């Protein structure tokens, strides 16, 4: 089997998952607003997603490492996604949305982390860059944002479940021919996880990036409401996201080239600085078109930051605990950060408006940048130290 053929199911999985995730990220706040929830209540629903992610990611990651399979764990999670979403999208009260949302997200949130972990391992096997595979997620995101944005603009945000179900079914069927990863080691035991939770460089790095990832998640959740606040429509929300992920896809595609130039931490710090600039610029705009114009910075911030951080974390954790370490990383990046970002962002945008929220985000990113620079200056942050921990 050729390299292209062996990666086709994986690329299709990544395209489909991120296409479905686009619908949640871009339009769920508008959908919940349609259901009658206010900014604070929307924040609680989004926080449930992040809480479920925080709990679910390490559990599914550990099971993946324990039984030395990613594909079978993905099957279980996708089945949970299909069943859970069919219930979640038919609830219309805050309490039922929260309860069913917790169950739905418990299965749905690990899929992205598991697929990226699988992509990282397949990239290592085939000697290709992780970014060249992960870029297909950005393509799926961009296509979905444009197409689904137009559909919902025409028919209404209340119908967002149907395109979500479509992409969920594609994920399920594409798993059938997919190749699993090979792990030549003994199955891990619970005590082996101590190697990760007592890894000081890993923990300090997660603490440092959390200041940045909180702002990233806050933007994920509330950019749509900010665009609406400035007078934009659902289709403009889709255009904004597609503009950002096109730049993101370009960064992922070229990761194999720009990673060779400088140390990984330099890219992480540079992206953190750009995050700070980006949020202050968003706070200053007064037209939704300006937000769209600035979305090219999404690639320079998330594209660089995520790719570099994922690569850095991969070298910090033992190869036998890759899935566990990756999903703990995801728990911080999208779980813990999402809880803080959704609750604080919802309260701020409801009380003071989107501009104040982005000012807060810029300040938080600046703090995170300082912590990353300090981490880089410590012995833990030296490139040769990181490589020695692999």
CATH number at residue 306: 1.20.1250.20
Please tell me the total count of domains within the chain: 1
- pLDDT, residue 199, reads 83
Mean pLDDT estimate for the chain: 86
Question: 84 vs 38, 80, 87, 95, 359, CA distance in Å?
Answer: 23, 6, 5, 16, 36
Q: What is the pLDDT of residues 329-353, one digit of tens each?
A: 888 888 889 889 888 998 898 889 9
Question: 32 vs 37, 43, 170, CA distance in Å?
Answer: 6, 10, 25
Residue 11 lies in a domain: yes
Quick one: 301 exposed, middle or buried, by C-beta within 10 A (0-12, 13-18, 19+)?
Answer: buried
Domain span at residue 205 reads: 7-178+187-388
* Ranges 177-181, 182-186, 214-218, 380-384, most confident: 214-218
Sequential DSSP letters for 119-181: HHHHHHHHT--HHHHHHHHHHHHHHHHHHHHHHHHHH-GGGTHHHHHHHHHHHHHHTTTPPPP
For the residues 236-252, what does the mean pLDDT come to?
Answer: 83
Question: How far apart are alpha carbons 241 and 220 in whole angstroms?
Answer: 10
Which range is least confidently modeled, 40-54, 100-114, 271-285? 40-54
Q: pLDDT band for position 293 (50/70/90)?
A: very high
pLDDT tops 60 at residue 1? no
Residue 292 lies in a domain: yes
Residue 293 lies in a domain: yes
Q: How many residues does the chain have?
A: 390
Asked if 73 contacts 326 with a C-beta cutoff of 8 angstroms, the reply is no
Q: pLDDT band for position 388 (50/70/90)?
A: very low
pLDDT tops 60 at residue 296? yes
Question: How far apart are alpha carbons 72 and 50 in whole angstroms?
Answer: 24
Return phi, psi of residue 162, to 5°. -70, -45
SS3 content of the chain, % helix, strand, coil (to 5): 85, 0, 15
Residue 2 lies in a domain: no
pLDDT tops 60 at residue 95? yes
Q: pLDDT band for position 43 (50/70/90)?
A: confident
- Scanning 295-351, the segments in alpha helix (DSSP H) are 297-298, 304-316, 322-330, 337-351
Q: Look-up: residue for tokens 């130039």? A: 261
């Amino acid at each position: 089997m050729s390299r292209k053929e062996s990666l086709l199911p994986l690329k299709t999985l990544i395209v489909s998952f991120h296409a479905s995730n686009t619908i949640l990220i871009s339009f769920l706040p508008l959908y919940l607003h349609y259901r009658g929830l206010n900014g604070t209540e929307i924040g609680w629903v989004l926080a449930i997603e992040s809480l479920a992610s925080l709990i679910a990611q390490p559990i599914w990651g550990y099971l993946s490492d324990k039984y030395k399979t990613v594909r079978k764990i993905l099957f279980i999670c996708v089945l949970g996604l299909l069943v859970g979403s069919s219930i979640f999208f038919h609830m219309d009260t805050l309490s039922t949305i929260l309860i069913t949302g917790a169950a739905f997200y418990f299965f749905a949130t690990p899929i992205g982390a598991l697929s990226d972990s699988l992509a990282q391992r397949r990239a290592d096997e085939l000697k290709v860059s992780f970014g060249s595979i992960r870029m297909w997620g950005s393509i799926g995101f961009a296509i979905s944002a444009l197409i689904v944005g137009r559909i919902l603009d025409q028919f209404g945000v209340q119908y967002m479940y149907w395109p979500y179900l479509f992409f969920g079914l594609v994920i399920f069927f594409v798993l059938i021919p997919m190749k699993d990863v090979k792990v030549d080691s003994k199955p891990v035991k619970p005590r082996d996880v101590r190697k990760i939770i007592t890894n000081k460089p890993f923990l300090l790095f997660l603490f440092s990036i959390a200041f940045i990832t909180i702002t990233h998640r806050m933007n994920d959740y509330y950019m749509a409401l900010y665009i609406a606040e400035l007078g934009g429509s659902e289709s403009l929300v889709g255009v904004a996201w597609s503009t950002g992920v096109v730049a993101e896809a370009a960064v992922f595609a070229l990761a194999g080239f720009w990673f060779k130039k400088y140390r990984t931490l330099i890219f992480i710090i540079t992206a953190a600085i750009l995050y700070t600039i980006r949020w202050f610029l968003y706070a200053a705009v007064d037209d939704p078109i300006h937000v769209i114009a600035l979305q090219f910075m999404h690639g320079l911030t998330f594209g660089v930051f995520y790719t570099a951080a994922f690569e850095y974390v991969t070298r910090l954790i033992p190869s036998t605990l890759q899935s566990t370490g990756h999903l703990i990383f995801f728990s911080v990046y999208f779980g813990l950060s999402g809880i803080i970002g959704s609750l604080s962002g919802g309260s701020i945008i409801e009380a003071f408006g989107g501009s104040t929220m982005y000012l807060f985000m810029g300040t938080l990113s600046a703090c995170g940048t300082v912590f990353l620079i300090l981490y880089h200056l410590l012995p833990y942050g030296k490139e040769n130290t990181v490589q020695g921990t692999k």
